[in-house]
Amino acid sequence: MNAESSIFTKIIERQIPASIVYEDEKCIVIKDINPKARVHLLIIPKKEIPTLFDLTPEDRDLMGHMMLLLPQLAQSQNLEGFKIQINTGEAGGQEVFHVHIHLLGN
C-alpha cells in the first residue's frame, strides 16, 4: 500500500471499519456512511482505479462483474427498483478518488 491509498483501499485492507454487505475476489460492497436513500450501498473494486477516465481495456471484466452484481445486491436488500450513480472527477462530484458505484433504493 502506498501513502496515497484511498479510504476505500484502507477499508478493503481492514485498516478502517465499515459495514460490509458483500465481498468477493474482485470487489467489496459497503453501506454508505451518509446514506441518500433507505438503501445506499457502495460497490468498490479492489483494484484502485482513481476515476472512470483511468479505466483501461483490462478493466472491462471487473466493471462488467460489478454491473452484474447490482441486481443481486438490490434483490438481497428487497428492492423492487434502484438507481445507480458513478461520480467521475472533481467536477462530476467525485469525493473519493477510487472508482465506486452508488446503488440507491427505497
Residue-wise pLDDT tens for the chain (106 aa)? 445 789 999 999 999 999 999 999 999 999 999 999 999 999 999 999 999 999 999 999 999 999 999 999 999 999 999 999 999 999 999 999 999 999 999 9
Q: How far apart are CA 52 and CA 89, in angstroms?
A: 8
Domain ranges of the chain: 7-99
CB 19 within 8 A of CB 31: yes
What string of DSSP letters covers 66-106?
HHHHHHHHHHHTT-S--EEE---SGGGT--SSS--EEEEE-
CATH of 7-99, one of 3.30.428.10, 3.20.20.80, 3.40.50.150, 1.20.1250.20: 3.30.428.10
Category of 87 on φ-ψ map: left (φ > 0), alpha (ψ -120 to 50) or beta: beta
Q: What is the pTM of this model?
A: 0.94
Residue 102 bears catalytic tag: no
Catalytic-labelled residue, pool 40, 98, 100, 102: 100
